[in-house]
Chains A and B, each alone.
Chain A
Amino acid sequence: MRGSYSFPIGPERDGGVAMSYRLDRAARCGEDAGRPRVDALIGRRPGMKEISQMHLSRRHMLGGLGAAAGFMALGGAALAAGKTYRIGVTLPLTGADAEPAHLILNGILLAIDQANKAGALPGITLEAMVLNNATTTAGEYDPAQAATNARKLVGDPGVLVNIGPEMSGSGKAMAPILSMGMLATITPSSTSPSITDPAFAAEFDPGGKPIYFRTVTTDAYQGPDMANFYAETLRVPSSYILDDSGAYGVGLADAFEKQAKAKGITVLGRDRLDPRADDYTAVVTKIEASGAASLYFGGGMQAAVKLVKQCHDIVPKIVKGGGDGILSPEMVTAAGFPAAEGWYVTSASPHLAGTPALQKWSDLYTRTYGVQPSDYSVTAYDATLVAIAAIQSVTKAGKPLTAANVRDAIQASKVEGLQGTIVFDRNGDLAQHMVTVFQFAYDPKYRATDFPHQYRYVSVAPQN
């Protein structure tokens, strides 16, 4: 029987205590014995990747920006004694999403550690208060647990800002509570547009001021920009659209469909896959019969592994693409070449390749934590930089250090992050939104399962 369904009620007694470690400890956590390692045996369950998360898209070439270099001294320098404030971190650290969550966590801890070491906040020590958003009951992120954690954060006056959550499903449960407590959160990866959409302010923002900030673009751009890419760059006349029943997949496919129609692509069909089913040949045969020139798939890897293989057998020639849900190692390890060859995928952030400073950051990350960073390690690092900068500006302005003041400072942020200058619009979304297109292409120089080397940068997706 399947083991991969979400169970909503997950009263973890205290998701936080076991995970909450002091920053100076975290600084050494690359070699720290007690810390759960990133490569821990992880029950990653494909059934659970629906809600607006993006998958580990470990970028092989991480360029750099100078901004980070400022606090890069990693040494044993004693921290200045003084007041301690906390930055909340809410991630699904166990279960299906544990692996990407730990990559994100590392990025956050790295930034906090560097700020402390560099004395960015004189007289103040920052500490990460890490809370697990996942429950074993759910086997993945659990909205009920996320709500519990939000209450814990709001109830603690020492918490100035939160980083997270990873998933929009958790975000929806947390946002109203954080809003009432006027505690800002910056998410490195949750991409559901509705949380920051003013149309849903009554649901997600009862406190009145935006508290949900992101250092990633939303699905409101990922799907449509890919449709633009299909229409303008690839010039496909027609398309067949599939989703995987999940909130993320359905949202992405809907957004793609709307823009594709607007761009004059004939949508020849729309179907929904059950990610637990194994045989999609009927649907793929239907695509073949429709004569569609392209396929767009909104969803995660559980359905994609099978879809990619069966598409290769039945419709090998048409254009195929999807969102960041399938920019995942499983594309090459489980779907594999030749089936994965040619699939286009998007990432909801700019392409960061090439610059030496980011490469340097990436090397530091890899050295410290023993794993390569993901895109969301970068966005998480950036989110933490924004948070620290906001705390800095509150102290510089001589205002009391409260969550509400930090929120105001975040809204006004202009911070140089690894991905460029980070500025938020009035809803809390990135003012600058860029969607990047990649394509899976077998490179015989590397092993076929060597994920970072088996896809290539194509272009920035056209915006309008």
Chain B
Amino acid sequence: MIALPRPSRRQKQGLLALTFVLLMAFPLVGGSQADIDIIANACAYAALALGLNIVVGFAGLLDLGYAAFFAIGAYSYGVLNSFQLQPHWSPFWQPFASLGLVAKLGIGAAATVHFTVSFWLMLPVSAAIAALFGVAFGAPTLRLKGDYLAIVTLGFGEIVPIVARNWPALTNGAAGLNGIGPPKLFGWSFGVDATPYYYVGIALVAFLLLVAWRLKASRIGRAWMAIREDAVAAQAMGIHTSRLKLIAFATGAAFAGVTGAFYIAKLQTATPDMFDLPVSIMVLVMIVLGGLGSVWGAIFGAVALEILQAWLLPALNGTTQALGQAVGSGFLRTLDLTSASELIFGIILVVMMLYRRDGLVPAARSGVTLAFEQQDAPISHGGSNMPILGLSHHLTPLAVAAPLAVAVPAVPAILSVRDLSVGFGGIRALKSLSLDVPEGGIVAVIGPNGSGKSTLFNAITGLVTPQSGRVDFAGRALIGRRPDQILALGVARTFQNIRLFPHLSVIENVLIGQHAHLRAGPFGILCNTPRTRAEERRAREFAAEILAIFGNRLVPRLEQNVSDLSYANRRRVEIARALAARPRLLLLDEPTAGMNPAESHELAGQIAAFRTLGLTILIIEHKLDVVTLLSDRVIVLDQGERLAEGTAAAVRADPAVIAAYIGRRPADV
């Protein structure tokens, strides 16, 4: 792989402006009608790829029926601006006629209605209809696992063209719609001239590019990518996964719908076989080539495939055939490379997946390298020494501001677990467990492997459904709530095996932690309203402040992918992500695992400092020195039951605990 020098922001803007000027000028400086038409078609490709990229690239949902939404958008416009439907004229239609949506054909009793809904109106309407189908189809199916979704969308993609074929009253069946009206602008019809379609196509792609770009940089885009990277962690970080998947699905469908209207207005005819499976696969190949999740990659893929098919293959074809003639090889002479294009699509898919999953124009930044000074800088420990600007301020609305000293048992429990039983198949991971966590306290849970510690966390955060028992947090029952709802109540967690979003940067991971507290809606994001911008800026500042807790361990690495971080730093990012959710109760699952003693103590100090911010902490930890240092109280689990409870010292001395640890030492390893 060759690492190209990354253009600066200014260079990028210059390049973009230049491209724009060239595109605008092309028809004016003597581009032929045919060339203009080709670029207009290419715009439709790119628009489709941008939409599928949102579904597959951003949200990680493999949609194999994408062409169905293209068809729905196309037929929506085609039916509402052609002679296909001609109901009898009645006064009912008069108001529509005065709005210009229909026209009266003929006179007297034989008069019929001719639908003439404007192209400009139908652009958003086609998008909306396609999105509506996306929602109607996605709502029941998106809760399925990703691989099931692929097959369900494949089925949907099959059904739509079959319905179009077999419903002649609406679609004119297999013969297709004829005479679809061209767009009109101030009374001037686009007709068959390619130039106006060219400009509409460029504008469409520019608009969709902007939409895709803004979405990607927003809380919605981050949530999609979080779902793609790790759906469970995304849900645990407060993302309503089914709703966001639905938004992605509908957005992709809307892109396809608007492209359908544009494409069909330009072609003025539509048949069902224009929308079969290879269309969906073809667009998939484009975004795989460009890079899943990469906005520019989608456009690159569309253009690259076009060049491959329109220019490269025919050129190669001539060469090989001439070569065959020259060397007398009948095989080469008769080889038609252009019919091998699908073979090439297949090869692209396999090779890209095996060797370059990020595509040729990857979305992820290649990692910001640190300057030597930064690498060599002495470690600053942050934590309570660092000014945590605003953090307590931000926490105030949710957390109790008054810092508590050593927990007093008399303080009411913020978390209470009663008779909690969790089982998997025949194994009972938790057996009637009860425990309390006092507000502002730090409680440690220890126990041998398999004693049910992580299962306890999963039950509290809604990732597993217990057979029986209650979990109450601040007076609210948690069982039966979704993980994202539980997070919104103020319970955040980390995972034993670190579930960060590996292909996202440090700051993005922490921003995702704030998802539940950000409010920007689709409208605000698309228009980039001052409110959205301000919210985004505050969110970034807050994320930076939280990361500053860990001193200069993470601050210089804000833009690095977390997969490039050291193990200890990943642990820190995960804790920062949980803190970003502004929890009242923080569940830490072995936060110091994989750290050396010095790092462990550093982290323990930082965790202890959280308490001064009003956080309550429930921590699973193996390192008894850390436990001793941190916790007010220790609960020992063994085989799903509470074995002992008390201060660290008391628990250590408990013969039952010693027996459990030492007696089962071999199994413990």
**Contact between A and B in the complex (any CB pair below 8 Å):** yes
Q: Which residues in A have some Cβ–Cβ distance to B below 8 Å?
A: 1-16, 18, 33-34, 36-37, 39-43, 48, 50-51, 94-95, 98, 135-137, 139, 143-144, 147-149, 151-152, 154-155, 169, 172-173, 176-177, 180, 192, 194, 200, 202-204, 206, 243, 245-247, 249-251, 272, 274
A358 to B279, CA, bound (A): 44
B611 within 8 Å of A (CB atoms):
no
Give the residues in chain A near B269, CB-CB below 8 Å: 143, 172-173
Tell yes or no: B44 within 8 A of A by CB: yes
- B residues with a Cβ closer than 8 A to A are 32-39, 41-42, 44-45, 48, 83, 162, 165-166, 173-176, 178-179, 191-192, 194, 263, 266-269, 271, 273-279, 281-282, 306-307, 309-311, 313-315, 317-318, 321-322, 325-326, 333-336, 338-342
Asked, given contacts A12-B309, A37-B333, whether A5 binds B276 with beta carbons under 8 Å apart, the answer is yes
**Cα(A355)–Cα(B35), bound, Å:** 47
Query: In the complex, which residues of chain A have a beta carbon less than 8 angstroms from the beta carbon of B173?
Result: 250
Q: How many whole Å from A156's CB to the nearest CB in chain B?
A: 9
Contacts of A137 in B (CB 8 A): 282, 309, 341
In the assembled complex, the CB of A198 is this many whole angstroms from the nearest CB of chain B, namely 13
Q: Given known contacts A16-B34, A34-B318, A143-B274, what 19 new A-B pairs fall within 8 Å (CB)?
A: A9-B279, A10-B41, A11-B38, A11-B41, A14-B34, A15-B310, A37-B334, A41-B334, A42-B336, A94-B338, A95-B338, A98-B339, A173-B267, A173-B269, A176-B268, A194-B175, A245-B165, A247-B175, A247-B176
Do A1 and B277 touch across chains, with their CB atoms under 8 A apart?
Answer: yes
Contact A139 B41 (CB under 8 A): no
| B34 neighbours in A (Cβ, 8 Å) | 14, 16, 148-149, 151-152, 155
Let me know if A200 and B334 touch, CB within 8 A. Answer: no
From A7, A41, A151, A180, B278 is in contact (CB under 8 Å) with A7
Q: Which residue of A lies closest to B309 (CB)?
A: A136
Residues of A within 8 Å of B281, CB to CB, are 1
User: Which residues of chain A are near B83, meaning CB under 8 Å?
Assistant: 202-203
Q: Which residues of B contact A245 (CB under 8 A)?
A: 165, 174
**Interface contact tally, CB-CB below 8 A:** 191
Q: Are A94 and B336 in contact (CB under 8 A)?
A: yes
Task: Evaluate contact between A151 and B33: CB separation under 8 angstroms.
Answer: yes
Is the CB–CB distance between A250 and B322 below 8 Å?
Answer: no
Q: Contact between B335 and A41 (Cβ–Cβ < 8 Å)?
A: yes
**How far is A40 from B33 in the complex, measured between Cα atoms in Å?**
31
Partner of B279, one of A7, A143, A206, A272: A7
From residue B116, how far is it (CB to closest CB) to chain A in Å?
12
A33 to B325, CA, bound (A): 6
6 nearest A-B pairs in the assembled complex, by CB-CB distance: A203-B179, A43-B339, A5-B276, A152-B34, A13-B310, A8-B274
Measured between beta carbons, the chain A residues less than 8 angstroms from B266 are 147
Chain A residues near B317 (CB-CB < 8 A): 36
- Residues of B near A1 (CB, < 8 A) are 277, 281
Nearest CB of chain A from residue B126's CB, rounded to whole Å: 16
| CA gap between A9 and B43 in the complex, in Å | 10
Contacts of A251 in B (CB 8 A): 174-175
* Cα(A177)–Cα(B591), bound, Å: 69
A13 vs B310: C-alpha distance in the bound complex, in angstroms? Answer: 5
Given A51-B271, A251-B175, answer yes or no on A43-B37 (Cβ-Cβ < 8 Å).
no
Q: Could you tell me if A180 and B313 are in contact, using CB atoms closer than 8 angstroms? A: no
Cross-chain contact of B41 among A2, A3, A9, A39 (Cβ < 8 A)? A9
B45 touches A9 (CB 8 A): yes
B267 touches A8 (CB 8 A): yes
Question: Which residues of the other chain, B, contact A4 by a CB distance below 8 angstroms?
Answer: 278
What residues of A have a CB within 8 angstroms of the CB of B333 in the complex?
37
Query: A180 and B263: CB pair below 8 A?
Result: no
| In the bound complex, CA of A41 to CA of B343 (Å) | 15
> What is the distance, in angstroms, from B157's C-beta to the closest C-beta of chain A?
11
**Within the assembled complex, what's the spacing in Å between the Cα atoms of A98 and B37?**
24
Cross-chain contact A136 with B313 (CB below 8 angstroms): yes
Once the chains bind, are A151 and B37 in contact (CB under 8 Å)?
yes
Is A135 in contact with B310, judged by CB distance below 8 angstroms?
yes
Residues of B contacting A147 in the complex (Cβ-Cβ under 8 angstroms): 37, 192, 266-267
Given A95-B338, A144-B41, A151-B34, does the pair A139, B267 have CB atoms closer than 8 Å? Answer: no
Residues of chain A within 8 A (CB-CB) of B309 are: 10, 12, 135-137
- In the complex, which residues of chain B have a beta carbon less than 8 angstroms from the beta carbon of A8? 263, 267, 274-275, 279
Q: Choose one: A34, A95, A148, A247; the contact of B37 (CB below 8 Å).
A: A148
Please tell me if the beta carbons of A7 and B274 are within 8 angstroms of each other in the complex. Answer: yes
Q: Which residue of B lies closest to A135 (CB)?
A: B309
Residues in B with CB closer than 8 Å to A10 are 41, 309
Q: How far is the CA of A177 from the CA of B192 in the complex (A)?
A: 6
**B277 adjacent to A247 (CB under 8 Å):** no
Q: B33 touching A11 by the CB < 8 A rule? A: no
| Closest B residue, CB atoms, query A156 | B32
Q: How far is the CA of A154 from the CA of B35 in the complex (A)?
A: 13
A165 → chain B closest CB, angstroms: 13
A contact residues around B282 at 8 Å (CB): 7, 137
Please state if B263 and A39 are interface contacts (CB–CB under 8 Å): no
- Per the bound structure, the CA–CA distance linking A10 and B309 in Å amounts to 9
Q: Which residues of A contact B162 (CB under 8 A)?
A: 274
Q: Which residues of A contact B314 (CB under 8 A)?
A: 18, 94
Given known contacts A13-B306, A33-B325, A136 and B33 CB-to-CB distance under 8 angstroms: no
By beta carbon, the residue of chain A nearest B165 is: A245
23 A-B pairs within 8 Å (CB atoms) are namely A1-B281, A7-B274, A11-B38, A14-B311, A15-B310, A18-B315, A36-B317, A43-B340, A48-B273, A98-B336, A136-B339, A136-B341, A137-B282, A147-B267, A148-B41, A151-B33, A151-B34, A152-B32, A155-B33, A172-B269, A176-B268, A177-B192, A202-B179
Taken together as a complex, chains A and B put the C-alpha atoms of A11 and B303 apart, in Å, by: 10
Q: Chain B residue with minimal CB distance to A36?
A: B321
List, in ascending order, chain B residues with CB within 8 A of A5's CB.
Answer: 273, 276-279
Q: Are A155 and B32 in contact (CB under 8 A)?
A: yes
Judge whether A180 and B33 touch: CB under 8 Å.
no
Contacts of A36 on B, CB cut-off 8 Å? 317-318, 321, 336
Closest to B260 in A: A8
What residues on B are CB-neighbors of A200 within 8 Å?
A: 178-179
Chain A residues with Cβ below 8 Å from B326 are 33
Cβ B178 vs Cβ A11 within 8 A: no
Kindly state the separation between the CA atoms of A235 and B281 in the bound complex, as whole angstroms. Answer: 49
Closest to B67 in A: A7
Q: How far is the CB of A88 from chain B (nearest CB, A)?
A: 12
Q: Looking at the assembled complex, report how far the CB atom of A453 sits from the nearest CB atom of chain B, in whole angstroms.
A: 25
Instruction: For residue A338, give the distance in angstroms from its CB to the closest CB of chain B.
Output: 31
B241 CB to closest chain A CB (Å) equals: 30
Chain A hits for B341, CB < 8 A: 136-137, 139
Task: Give the residues in chain B near A98, CB-CB below 8 Å.
Answer: 336, 339
Residues A6 and B274 in contact, CB atoms below 8 Å apart: yes
Q: Complex: how many Å from CA A95 to CA B340?
A: 9
Q: How far is the CA of A8 from the CA of B35 in the complex (A)?
A: 17
A37-B333, A42-B339, A94-B338 known; A203 and B44 CB under 8 Å? no
Task: Tell me which residues across on chain B come within 8 A of A33, comparing CB atoms.
Answer: 322, 325-326
Q: Are the CB atoms of B263 and A40 closer together than 8 Å?
A: no
A172 to B306, CA, bound (A): 24
A40: chain B residues within 8 A (beta carbon): 321, 334-336
A243 contacts which chain B residues (CB < 8 A)?
174
- Give Cα distance in the complex from A194 to B175, angstroms: 10
Question: Bound state CA distance, A245 and B167, in angstroms?
Answer: 11
When chains A and B are docked, how far (Å) is the Cα of A6 from the Cα of B274? 5
A34 to B37, CA, bound (A): 29
**Contact status of A3 and B334, CB under 8 A, knowing A152-B32, A152-B33:** no
A181 CB → nearest B CB, Å: 8
B336 touches A43 (CB 8 A): yes
Which residues of chain A come closer than 8 Å to B165, judged between CB atoms?
245, 272
Chain A residue, CB-CB nearest to B74 = A8
Bound state CA distance, A149 and B194, in angstroms?
12
**Complex CA–CA separation, A147 to B322 (angstroms):** 30
- Minimum distance in angstroms from B228 CB to a CB of chain A: 25
**Which residue of B has the minimal Cβ distance to A244?**
B174
A272 touches B166 (CB 8 A): yes
Given contacts A6-B274, A13-B307, A148-B41, A95 and B339 within 8 Å (CB-CB): yes
